[in-house]
């Protein structure tokens, strides 16, 4: 190999190495899915239509039934406007899990109910339900599923709960609270 060719190969290798190291130090690309939700927002930013299987599970939910009763409505009259939903990926990118938030008659003051459904071969399955001011789908995983952080606040206290997937559903793993000074 000629000296000129050797220098060219060495230069190419150096540029390739530097570019590779630089790429490792770049922050990860923004996710295409919404992973932070807040009761301060009017609705989900990346909303999708709630599939029929999930809709049937929502109609059967006790909290939804109570809200319908308060409004003198039946399950068949359940307004879609009471909910917003977004696709999330809790286990891997192939599945289309769904987080659903209650709005309007389903919402509360500085808190909103949510339902988390995973996609299974038998259809959607409810794996978490609760109420929070903020819900964040974290990057950390437990048993292959992403952890979920819930935050709620009162006049005097901020409470945070981390949910972990136990193989069947999400359960509270860690709870913290601190006083607001």
Query: What are the boundaries of each domain within the chain?
Result: 33-179
What pLDDT, on a 0 to 100 scale, did the predictor assign at position 43? 61
Its pTM stands at: 0.78
10-residue averages of pLDDT along the chain (181 residues) = 48 40 42 82 80 95 94 92 93 86 84 93 94 93 94 91 95 93 76
Beta-carbon contacts of residue 171 (< 8 Å; ≥ 6 apart): 163, 164
Yes or no: domain 33-179 corresponds to CATH 1.10.3470: no
Overall size of the chain counted in residues = 181
3-state secondary structure 120-169: ECCEEEEEEEEEECEEEEEEEEECCEEEEEEEEECCCEEEEEEEEECCCC
């Amino acid at each position: 190999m000629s000296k000129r060719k050797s220098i060219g190969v060495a230069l190419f290798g150096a540029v390739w190495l530097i570019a590779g190291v630089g790429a490792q130090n770049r922050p990860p690309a923004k996710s295409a899915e919404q992973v932070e939700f807040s009761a301060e927002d009017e609705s989900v930013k990346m909303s999708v239509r709630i599939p029929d299987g999930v809709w049937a599970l929502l109609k059967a939910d006790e909290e939804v039934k109570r809200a319908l009763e308060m409004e003198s409505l039946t399950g068949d009259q359940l307004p879609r406007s009471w909910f917003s939903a977004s696709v999330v990926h809790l286990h891997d990118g192939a599945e289309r899990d769904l987080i659903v938030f209650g709005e309007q008659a389903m919402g509360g003051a500085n808190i909103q109910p949510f339902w988390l459904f995973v996609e299974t071969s038998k259809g959607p399955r409810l794996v978490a339900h609760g109420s929070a001011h903020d819900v964040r789908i974290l990057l950390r995983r437990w048993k292959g599923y992403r952890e979920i952080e819930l935050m709620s606040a009162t006049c005097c206290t901020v409470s945070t709960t981390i949910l972990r997937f136990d193989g069947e559903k999400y359960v509270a793993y860690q709870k913290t609270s601190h006083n607001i000074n």
